[in-house]
Each structure stands twice: as structure tokens, then as C-alpha cells.
Amino acid sequence: MKLKIKNPATGQLVQEVPINTEEEIQQKLKRGHESFNNWFKVNAHYRSKLLKKWSNKVQGAKEEIAKTITLESGKPIQESLNEVDYATSYIDWYAEEAKRIYGRTIPANSESKRVIVTRQPVGLVAAITPWNFPAAMMTRKAAPALAAGCTFIIKPAENTPLTTIKLVQLAHEAGIPEDVVQYVNGYGNEVGKLFTASTYVKKITFTGSTTVGKLLMKDSADTVKHISLELGGHAPLIISEDADIDFAVSQTIASKFRNAGQTCICVNRVLVHENIVDEFSEKLTKEVVKLKVGNGLEKDINIGPIINEKGFDKIIYQINDAMQKGAEVLCGNNYNANRDAGCFFIHPTVLKNVNENMAIMQEETFGPVIPLTTFKEIEEAVEIANSTPYGLAAYFFTNDYRTGAYFHENLDFGIVSWNDGAPSAAHTPFGGMKESGLGREGGIEGIESYLETKYLSIGGLKK
Ligand SMILES: NC(=O)c1ccc[n+]([C@@H]2O[C@H](COP(=O)([O-])OP(=O)(O)OC[C@H]3O[C@@H](n4cnc5c(N)ncnc54)[C@H](O)[C@@H]3O)[C@@H](O)[C@H]2O)c1
Ligand SMILES: O=CCCC(=O)O
């Protein structure tokens, strides 16, 4: 059995990839578990060197990897090149953090005792990643795991395994042992069950939908695994009356149309102060109509295809639902779909007069649509922003420090971005509150969940 990897922009077959049998997966899990005892004893400076070598190899193959990302995920080639840099920034960051896994001493409550706290890697980590950032979601998990001394096995999304296969191959070429970093290919529900049931796996790390994240959490309970979840979002972007409108327009576009809106922290709803909504929507629409839609391998394309039919149908449903309930289309709402070939393009769409009864204000869109709604008071904006089960990213634009402080403190989101449409970076803690996830990836926090705390109590010492 094979996975057929198709280019979502053309429907053409890119490559076939064998699906691993259950037996093969169990063997790999066993090898990952057994190699842990050697890998975690390798000194941190050496692990760091291997990670740096891996990063250099990935950068050396940057063009090839970027092309693979575009071929399997559809994202415009410039975005894929950026993703390779973003992916290596996580390896570079954790190559440094490997050397900074510190313990501590605690003053004992007896003269004959000493108390020492050390950190140790959790063991074999199993990762499941999505199709929208096939390189960065892999390295954001693999790099801290390997830096901490864990061994690592990954199942990439069924439609984008090629990038992962290449990254793992480069890790081996860099000198990271074959059993220390491995991949398997197969269907999410089947491999997920093997990962969660395995007693070799000590931690599950997942990026994807909230539905699957909840399932993995339930299935991990029987063996009480560590778990990190980066799940769905429904990011609000709030524009205050005093904001710099031109800047807010450019940042809204930067956030919303990254990967054709198929990014978990993409703006999903824009809340504009009622006194500036006409000026903002006019300026926004003028810029949005300039964006070019097409095959990401072609020059100057800004918006690639929607990943699949399911994603496409959901976006179209949300646009139609909003229009039926009174939304006005300022631009877009046209699309090309070739269902036989499996190619789906949606032109960037701006909707005005959107309200909270519309599906687009409640459900994640994962597509190039901007719904605009208005508010009068900042308290009302916060109430609307916090009104979904999601809590991944929120954006606001204001030049008033009091308004900024209010938004920062009251928005229930793991990432709060003030006058900034692009907050993601390897040195920062990325992750969500509420049903958007558990744990953080990136920054000093990103290695924590790959480590156990061990406390040593030494007694009977000379007073
Ligand atoms: N928070 C983040 O960083 C982040 C990043 C990317 C995507 N996402 C979210 O993911 C969604 C879209 O991505 P998607 O369609 O790839 O999501 P998905 O959850 O269906 O798939 C993600 C991964 O999970 C696997 N999977 C599917 N069913 C599974 C199961 N029953 N058990 C175990 N694994 C399973 C898939 O094979 C894939 O590898 C959006 O909701 C988006 O917000 C979140
Ligand atoms: O969509 C998931 C990840 C996006 C990001 O890291 O900015």
C-alpha cells in the first residue's frame, strides 16, 4: 500500500510513498526506545554539534526542500523558502538550549542531608504533524526533543510526507543515529492508535485539529504519557479607533494570507472600531485585490491552492452562510474548483457587515477570507474576541498604551500580538489556551516538556 502524493495546484502525482505495516511501526518504536539509553548519555555539547550540522545540511538543501514543500502543500515558493529558514531557526535555537538544561540545589532541612534537582529526557517521543508547515512543525518538535536527549519518531500528514523524509535523511547524514530520529508513514487514526498504545512512547506531541488533539489526549491516558498539543485557532484582530490604519491593513494581509489563510494563527475575524470601518475596509480591499492566485511554483503568486476538497467546501460554506445572513462581499468570492483533479483555488475575499450568528465568526476558516465586524467599546471587542472555545493567537492595533495594556491582560490567548501581524519565532513560546492546546513550543519553554524533573535526596552525611 502506498500514499499518493499529489500537487494540490495541478492534481499531478508527485510521488508514491510506502505505508508502513503495523509490524514495521512496532519495530521502529522498539528501536527508538532501545536507542534512548545511548542517546541520552551522549553529552549535551555533542548533541548540540550534531543539531548544528543538521541545520547546515537543511540550509544546504534549502531550494530542494522548498520546492518539495510547494509541490506537496501548494504554498507559494517564496513562503516555502521562508519556511525552510523558519524550520532551521528551531534547530539552531535548540542546538544552543541543549547546553542550558540546568538543575539546582535546594538547601536541606538537616545538616546531614543534601538535595539536588536534575533534569532528564522523558524517553521516546512520538510526533504527529500537519500538512500546512511540513518542515517547521517537524523541526519545532524534533529539535527540542533531540536536544533534551529524547529519541524521536514522527508520522507526517498523509499528503505531505516528502519534506519529513528529506529532513530525517539529512539528520542521519549529519550524524544523528538512525534509530534516534525516525519516520513512519500511514493514516493518522491507525498510526495514532499505535503511538498512544505503545508503552515505549513516553510523550506525544501533536499539531493539527482540536478534534484529533482531544482524541490523542484521551488515548494517551491509559499509559499516562506526557502530551503537547498545538491545535486549532480562531484569531481575532482588533483595530482601535486610534490605530495607524495603513499599518493595520498591511499587517492584516500579512497575517491572513500566509499559506492562503491555512495557518493556525491566521487572522480569522477582524473587529474594527465603528468610526474607522469604512476607511479601513476601503484601504484593505484595495490591497487585497492585488494578490495573485495560482500555482505556487509560478512567479509572484501570493495565494496557492486550498489543500483539499474538504477544506474548500468548508470555506465556501462559510462565505455562503455569511452572505445569506446579510454579509456584503467587498471583493473575492470567486473560485476555481476542479473536483476530478482535486484542485481548489479561492480568490481572497473580504466580507463586511459580519455578525456573530454567522458560522465564520465561530468556526475556524483555514482559507483566504476576511470577515469584518465592528465594535464601539474595547470591552465589547474583548468579549467578542474571547467568545469562542479557541485561545491560540489574538492581534490588536492601537497606539494608546492604556488600550494596549487592557487588551493584553484581558484577551484569553496564548499569543497576544500588539501592532504585529507576524509574531512567530523560534525564541518565543508558541501555543494556545482553552481548546487551542496544551504546552508551548519554541523559546525556553519549548524544551521543558521533553524533560522530567528528578530530585535526589542524599542523607547520612557528616555534619
Ligand atoms: N496550533 C497549531 O500550531 C496548528 C498548526 C497547523 C494546523 N493546526 C490545525 O490543524 C487543522 C488542519 O490541519 P489538518 O487537517 O492536517 O488536521 P488533522 O488534525 O486532521 O491532521 C493533522 C495530523 O493528524 C493526523 N491524524 C488525523 N486523524 C488522526 C487520528 N484519529 N489520530 C491520530 N492522528 C490523526 C493526520 O494524519 C495529520 O498527520 C486546523 O484546525 C488547524 O488550526 C494547528
Ligand atoms: O500553523 C501552524 C504554525 C504557524 C506558525 O508557527 O506560525
* % of the chain beyond a pLDDT of 90: 100
pLDDT at 76 over 90: yes
Question: What CA–CA distances, in Å, run from 131 to 74, 230, 294?
Answer: 10, 14, 19
Task: Quickly name the fold that domain 2-231+436-457 has.
Answer: Aldehyde Dehydrogenase; Chain A, domain 1 (3.40.605)
pLDDT in tens, 246-287: 999 999 999 999 999 999 999 999 999 999 999 999 999 999
The predicted pLDDT at position 220 comes to 98
215 Cβ below 6 A of ligand 1: yes
Task: Quickly name the fold that domain 235-424 has.
Answer: Aldehyde Dehydrogenase; Chain A, domain 2 (3.40.309)
pLDDT at 181 over 90: yes
Question: Quick one: cell of 39?
Answer: 542517546
CB-CB contact of 423 with 431 (8 Å): no
Report how far residue 322's alpha carbon sits from residue 365's, in angstroms, rounded to the nearest whole number: 12
Mutate which of 73, 137, 209 for ligand 2 pocket (most atoms within 8 A of beta carbon)? 137
The predicted pLDDT at position 403 comes to 98
295 Cβ below 6 A of ligand 2: no
pLDDT in tens, 389-412: 999 999 999 999 999 999 999 999
In the chain, where the domains are located = 2-231+436-457, 235-424
219 Cβ below 6 A of ligand 1: no
What string of DSSP letters covers 377-409? SHHHHHHHHT-SSEESEEEEE-S-HHHHHHHHH
pLDDT in tens, 150-169: 999 999 999 999 999 999 99
Output the residue whose Cα is nearest ligand 1's atom 32. 189
424 Cβ below 6 A of ligand 2: yes
pLDDT at 463 over 90: no
Ligand nearest to the CA of 433: 1
* Active-site annotation holds for 230: yes
pLDDT in tens, 86-106: 999 999 999 999 999 999 999
131 Cβ below 6 A of ligand 2: no
What is the chain's mean pLDDT, rounded?
98
342 Cβ below 6 A of ligand 1: no
pLDDT at 118 over 90: yes
Q: CA-based diameter of the chain, in Å? A: 81
C-alpha radius of gyration, the chain, whole number = 23
pLDDT at 240 over 90: yes
- State the helix-helix crossing angle for 277-288 and 245-256, rounded to 10 degrees: 50
Report how far residue 357's alpha carbon sits from residue 4's, in angstroms, rounded to the nearest whole number: 39
344 Cβ below 6 A of ligand 1: no
The Cα angle at residue 161 between residues 317 and 393, in degrees rounded to 5: 50
CB-CB contact of 34 with 179 (8 Å): yes
What is the arithmetic mean of pLDDT over 13-18? 98
ipTM for the predicted complex comes to 0.94
Which residue in the list 83, 97, 230, 364 is annotated as catalytic? 230
Task: Name which of 4, 1, 9, 2 is nearest 344 in CA terms.
Answer: 9
Its pTM stands at 0.97
* Active-site annotation holds for 150: no
Domains 2-231+436-457 and 235-424 in one fold: no
Question: What's the gap in Å between 209 CA and the centre of ligand 1?
Answer: 4
Mutate which of 141, 265, 415, 436 for ligand 2 pocket (most atoms within 8 A of beta carbon)? 265
pLDDT at 198 over 90: yes
Question: What's the gap in Å between 128 CA and the centre of ligand 1?
Answer: 8
DSSP annotation of 56 reads H
What is the arithmetic mean of pLDDT over 203-221? 98
Question: What's the gap in Å between 228 CA and the centre of ligand 2?
Answer: 15
